[in-house]
Structure 1
Amino acid sequence: MNHIRQRNYLEVQLKNFKDFIPFCPNDSLPALLHEMSKIHDRLEKLREYTIEQLVKEVHFHYETRQSKSNFRTI
């Protein structure tokens, strides 16, 4: 993945977070806004890059976690 692809991915993710705000529970809203702020900061940094920097490869990995709902106590 290069910086251009990462920028496009982050823009889509930010849009999805913005669309989710009306449905977000009030106690989870600060965490969502914090994540949105981190994405926005990264996008601002990417907008400063030159074309040569944008086409360079970026090390990027997805982290998969188990849902808390899978760990029910009986």
Structure 2
Amino acid sequence: MIYVLAALLPPIGLLFNGQPFSAIFNVVLIVFCAIFGLVFHVLLLVPSAHAVIAVHMKREQRRHREVVEAIRRHGPPPGYSRY
């Protein structure tokens, strides 16, 4: 659901995902791309692509942090060899 919101309303999707600085940057990006997107139409997709990629990266970072915390709490998985 957050991906749909990030694709359709990029700054709001970033805000809901907890990324206020990315949302501000995305607003600037929207203004820039709206001006130059009249000539180069593909630029109109850049703000949405930025928001979707930023949301994906933040979710992957959270997932990685959860795995690291689980390993710290419970130890490595069975059969894991460090060497």
TM-score (norm 1): 0.38
When Rg is computed on C-alpha atoms for both structures, the one with the higher figure is 2
Write 1 or 2 for the structure with the bigger share of helix.
2
TM-score (norm 2): 0.35
Higher relative contact order (CA 8 A, sep 6+): 1
